[in-house]
Amino acid sequence: MRYILPCELAARRVVPSIRAGLVTVLRHKGYNYYQISKLLNLTPAAVSQYVSKKRGGKIVDLMLKDQEIMRKLELISELIIKGESEAVNSEICSLCELVRKKYPEMIRTFPY
């Protein structure tokens, strides 16, 4: 079996789930696909795929039921809206680590 760096695994599995979670939070705040795409530097089509769960995997369903993760997603969404990119980067890394610790078996088994 080949060794996969933790950040490589996160980039493939966790980051898309975090994006999907952020899209969900921003939709609940009343933002439309175009506004979300600008905030997250995505295309409106990508936002649509996150909303329809074609991207983000099954991990996002678990994340959205977890209160600690939801608090982090809410915080990150507020930081994004305010344009505080350094704080956003730090919080996303923290959230990624939290998701990897809470759901290690999911990250290894779920497809992209």
Domain positions in the chain are: 6-109
85-97: per-residue pLDDT in tens?
999 999 999 999 9
pLDDT of residue 3: 73
Using the predicted structure, report yes or no on whether residue 50 has a pLDDT greater than 80. yes
Regarding pTM above 0.85, the answer is: yes
Res. 112: pLDDT tops 70:
no
Q: Quick one: three-class SS letters along the chain?
A: CCCCCHHHHHHHHHHHHHHHHHHHHHHHCCCCHHHHHHHHCCCHHHHHHHHCCCCCCCHHHHHCCCHHHHHHHHHHHHHHHHCCHHHHHHHHHHHHHHHHHHCHHHHHHCCC
